[in-house]
Amino acid sequence: MIQNIFHRHRQAGALWVQCAKCHELIYQREFDDNLKTCPRCNHHARLSARERIASLLDEDTWQEEDEELRPADPLGFISLGEQYADKLNEAQQKTGLSEAALSGTGEIDSLAVRLVVLEFGFMGGSMASVVGEKVARAAEHSAGDRRPLIMISASGGARMQEGIYSLMQMAKTSAALAKLGAARVPSFSVLTDPTTGGVTASFASLADVIVAEAGALIGFAGPRVIEQTTKQKLPPDAQRPEFLLKHGMIDAIVHRRELKSALAKALRLYAGGPFASTTPASLTPAPKRSKAIASTNGAGSGAQQG
């Protein structure tokens, strides 16, 4: 079959890619230039966290923060004979990341911002202690230096291997964003495919502006789980951006090619309002957090530094 002839990865030397939705063949260079979206049916393939950062930020402006954070195994979790520590090591080898989130500073059209980007390839982008800590710290850093915060979600929800330590990140990130709002620093949430579970139920839904990529699955529980529990069929496309926009859950649906310009426009609108005198014009180092602050927000529950 043709899909066995044409592989989907550039590293395999492929010249063509097959759209996962319409199954049309697309020239690899055209696919990449289109930020991995199908020019025929508009399907958005998933981007890695690093690809996402490269697509949004001005060249050579990315500076990672809190990279010293490393996951731990607070429960000594074992499932079907497989240790959580081994799963973490496997995900780290696969993605080249220490955890399922990257955070740092950069610029979008010369406007200073802070990003937190989830990596779905790392255990489904699940939120565990380090992910929640990075989101909370990013909000704290932005409250300090007043850089607008942009959060880009791609997640299957909370990570079961860390139990209650993972679930508490929902409250921690929500509290951190509430403090960011009280400091009158704008926040933006970008929902990509998929954004589900505890991420949807916490920081992903709490920004000042919430946008979604076309076709993204967005919700708390999956449609099959909901239908099995309620014994009712969901409305068509109930967990898709068009439905959520119609019912006021998001502010806009933005094509990936237009996401950078849309965010830049929103940033300038905020900079022209009450934030005009406080939004930084250039990059400056984020303030260091004290050990006392780190110990009060749950970092020690499942995250390790160094």
Average pLDDT, the chain: 87
| Total-model pTM | 0.85
- Alpha carbon 63 to its chain centroid, in Å, reads 17
- Token pair belonging to 250: 């998001």
Whether the pLDDT of residue 210 is over 80: the answer is yes
Instruction: Please report the pLDDT score of residue 13 as a whole number.
Output: 54
CATH architecture type of domain 47-305: Alpha-Beta Complex (3.90)
Where does residue 102 fall: left (phi above 0), alpha (psi -120 to 50 degrees), or beta otherwise?
A: beta
Backbone phi, psi, residue 78, to 5°: -135, 130
pLDDT tens string 159-174: 999 999 999 999 999 9
How confident is the model over 126-170, as pLDDT tens digits?
999 999 999 999 999 999 999 999 999 999 999 999 999 999 999
Contact 129, 135 (CB under 8 A): no
Q: How is residue 211 annotated by DSSP?
A: E
114, 138 Cβ separation under 8 angstroms? yes
Q: What letter would DSSP give residue 12? A: G
* Residue 73 DSSP symbol: -
C-beta of residue 124 within 8 angstroms of C-beta of residue 117: no
Res. 302: pLDDT tops 90: no
**DSSP per residue, 131-194:** HHHHHHHHHHHHHHH---EEEEEEE--B-GGGHHHHHHHHHHHHHHHHHHHHTT--EEEEEEEE
| Domains of the chain by residue range | 1-45, 47-305
Q: What is the pLDDT of residues 246-272, one digit of tens each?
A: 999 999 999 999 999 999 999 999 987
Identify each DSSP E strand in the chain by its residue range: 16-18, 25-27, 63-64, 69-71, 78-79, 82-83, 101-108, 111-118, 149-155, 187-195, 209-213, 252-254, 303-305
Categorize the per-residue pLDDT at 224 as very low, low, confident or very high, splitting at 50, 70 and 90: confident
pLDDT band at 208 (very low <50, low <70, confident <90, very high): very high
Contact 261, 110 (CB under 8 A): no
Render pLDDT for 265-293 as a digit per residue (tens, 0 to 9): 999 999 875 554 444 433 333 334 333 33
Q: State in Å, rounded, how far the first CA of the chain is from the last one.
A: 48
